[in-house]
Amino acid sequence: MSMSDPIADFLTRIRNGCQVAKEEVGVPASNLKARLAEILREEGYIKDFTKVPDRKQGMLHVQLRYDEDGQSIIRGLKRESKPSRRLYVSSEELPRVRNGLGTAVISTSRGVLTDKQARREKVGGEYLFSIW
């Protein structure tokens, strides 16, 4: 069975892992998912990730992050642009997630960037998802 939205699958696996307090979740690897995991690590939403090769496409092992009370650092994830309804934003209309407390992830002509990086570089693109 082919997967129609691999980004939504990536986000759902992370969301489900956070809900049951898993230390680590496995996600089928791709260059895009590795870049998304890199952004989540840079923004402090996950501890780290590793790429583990196998006979097929490989797996990304994403280590989830929790606070001292055992609550997930990730409070919410929302897929914005979907295969059935793509959502594009210009550099002037880049979203602010939770008044700047969250992060929007944008796929631009200069690669996958956060909303802050896209604002700095004055580029727009496809609004992939929000995380807070």
* 85 and 122 share one domain: yes
Q: What is the CATH number of the domain that holds 82?
A: 3.30.1490.10
Two tokens at 15? Answer: 């969301």
* 10 and 59 share one domain: yes
Q: For each of the chain's 132 residues, which pLDDT tens digit applies?
A: 457 899 999 999 999 999 999 999 999 999 999 999 999 999 999 999 999 998 889 999 999 999 999 999 999 999 999 999 999 999 999 999 999 999 999 999 999 999 999 999 999 999 999 999
- Residue 14 CA to residue 99 CA, distance in Å, equals 23
Q: What is the CATH number of the domain that holds 19?
A: 3.30.1370.30
* 81 and 119 share one domain: yes
Query: C-alpha 89: how far from its chain's center?
Result: 17
Q: What is the pTM of this model?
A: 0.94
Query: How many separate domains does the chain show?
Result: 2
* 89 and 58 share one domain: no
| Residue 33 and residue 27 in contact, taking contact as beta carbons nearer than 8 Å | yes
* 22 and 47 share one domain: yes
* 86 and 38 share one domain: no
| Cα-based angle 88, 96, 75 (whole degrees, multiple of 5) | 105
pLDDT at position 3: 73
The residues near 53 (Cβ < 8 Å, ≥ 6 apart) are none
* 53 and 85 share one domain: no
Question: What is the number of alpha carbons within 13 Å of residue 16 lying toward its C-beta?
Answer: 9
Number of C-beta neighbours around residue 57 at 10 A: 11
Q: Which domain holds residue 107?
A: 77-131
* 53 and 96 share one domain: no
Sign for the pseudo-dihedral over CA of 123, 127, 102, 24: negative
